[in-house]
Structure 1
C-alpha cells in the first residue's frame, strides 16, 4: 500500500462516520490532504478543526482549502494535537464524528520535526473522549524515520488494550513490504 493508496483507503473508512453538519478533526494538518477531505465530507453546515505545530503546514493547508473554496468550514490551530481538549472546550464543541492523524513528519518539511509517542498517546486519550457514537479515529503510522517504529508500537499497544464493549479496533498493514505505512483504526460503538 503506497502513500496515495493508504490515504485513499483511510478516507473510504472514515467517510462512513461523516455526514453534512458533522464536526471532524485533523490532528496533524500537514499539507492539508486530510483537512480538505474532512471539509468536503462535512459539507457547508459542518466544521473541521485542524492542528499542526508548524506554521508552514498550516499555510500549506490553508492554500489547499482556499483553492477548493472550503476554508470557511475549517479553523486552523498552531498547537500540538495534545492540546485538543483545550481547543475543543474553548470552541464549545460537544463531540466529533471523525479524528484523523497522519503521524511522522511534514512531507518536504523539516525531517527532525516529528510527532512524538508521548504527545500522540495523550492526543489519542483525548480523541477517544471526544469521539461520538459510531465515530472513527484513524492513525496512519510511518516507521521509516527516526522514532517512527517506537511511536507506531506505542500506538498499537494502546489501541489493543481498548475496552471491547466501547470500541472496535483494526490494523491494516502490507506484510511483504518493509517500512510501508500502515493504518490503525478505532470505531466507537454506537448507542444500543
Structure 2
C-alpha cells in the first residue's frame, strides 16, 4: 500500500500535464510545489501559498536549488487564491492541512479559510481536474478542521464531483489521510 504523501502525489501525477496551472495551497517546505513545478513543465505555472514567511523562505530556497522558474510564491492565505488566478483554469491543487513541520504549532490551517479556498479553486477546476487534501488532524484544532472539511466534501454534488478518501485505519496518533475531489463536469 502507498503511504499518504506518495498517494497524494500519484493523484496529482495522474492528471497534471505540461502547460497546466496548479496550486500548492500550503507550500510549507516546498516539496509539493517542486513536484507541481515539474509536472506543469516550463509552459505551465504553479501558484504556491502560505501565511508564514518561513514557509515561503523554505520553498524559495528549494526552488532555487532546483533551478525552478515557473512558480509564483504568495505570502498570503489560500483563501485569497482568486486574487492571483484571475480567469485562469486550474488542473490541480494540493493542501497539507495542519501546521508547518518544525515551526510554531499554534499557527494552523483553519476550517473556514480552507473551505473558502476549496470553493474558489473548484470553481476554476477543469473537467478531470483534482483537489487533493492531505488532512493532518492530530493537533489542537485539527479535529474541527477535519470534520468541517470532510462534511463539506461529502455534500458536494455527485453529478459534478467525485470524492474519495484514502486512509490507514489501524495506526495510532490520528494519522493523516487523503481526500481527493475530481471535477466531473
TM norm. shorter chain > 0.5: yes
Counterpart residue number, 2:176: 181
Distance in 2, Cα, partners of 1:181 & 1:125: 22
Q: Does 1:102 align with 2:99?
A: no
Aligned pair count? Answer: 184
Whole-angstrom CA distance in 1 between matches of 2:88 and 2:70: 17
* 1:161 and 2:155 matched: yes
Equivalent positions of 1:138-157 (< 5 A) are 138-157=132-151
Match of residue 55, structure 2, among 50, 54, 57 = 57
Residue of structure 2 equivalent to 1:81: 78
CA deviation string 1:106-162 (max 9, x = no partner): 001111000001111111111110111110100000111001011011111000011
Q: Quote the offset at 1:15 in angstroms.
A: 1.1
1:33 and 2:31 are equivalent in the alignment: yes
Structure 1: give runs of 5+ residues left out of the alignment: none
Structure 2: segments with no counterpart, 5+ residues:
none
Counterparts of 1:31 and 1:130, CA distance in 2: 26
The Cα of 1:11 is off from its aligned counterpart by: 0.5
Give secondary structure in 2 for the equivalent of 1:118: helix
Mapped to 2, the partners of 1:171 and 1:154 lie a distance apart of 15
CA root-mean-square deviation? 1.3
Structure 1 runs of 4+ aligned residues shifted over 6 Å read none
Cα distance in structure 1, aligned partners of 2:39 and 2:88:
19
TM-score (norm 2): 0.96
TM-score normalised by length of structure 1 = 0.93
